Amino acid sequence: MKFRKKPVVIDAEQYKGYRKLVTGMCRSTLCSVNRERYEPHVHTIHNNQVVNIEVGDWIIPEPNGINFYPVKPDIFEQTHEPVVGVK
């Protein structure tokens, strides 16, 4: 059986560099995976998993709008396109 992903308009923001906050990025140094040094990360809906992000990653909200996940730039480009005229 084959499926097609439903078209959904999302807000996404690209992480452009260390210390540059983006929507969905955890702002607390207390929950960092690496306790010795803060690493930019997001929390996912899957068991509140912590996922580190890298410069260039796109940050996308989970369907619940509370949790987020990163998408690598090449994958984002293959699976998303800009929407014109929608805010």
> Starting at the edge strand that comes first in sequence, how are the strands of the sheet with 68-71 ordered?
13-14, 58-61, 68-71
Question: Taking the chain (87 residues) in consecutive chunks of 10 residues, what is each chunk's mean pLDDT?
Answer: 78 84 77 64 76 89 86 92 79
pLDDT at 74: 95
Mode of pairing for the β-strands spanning 13-14 and 68-71:
unpaired
How far separated are the first and last CA of the chain, in Å rounded?
35
The per-residue b/e assignment along 50-74, b for 16 or more CB within 10 angstroms, e otherwise, is eeebeeebbbbbeeeeebbbbbeee
Enter the pTM of the model: 0.72
| Domain ranges across the chain | 15-79
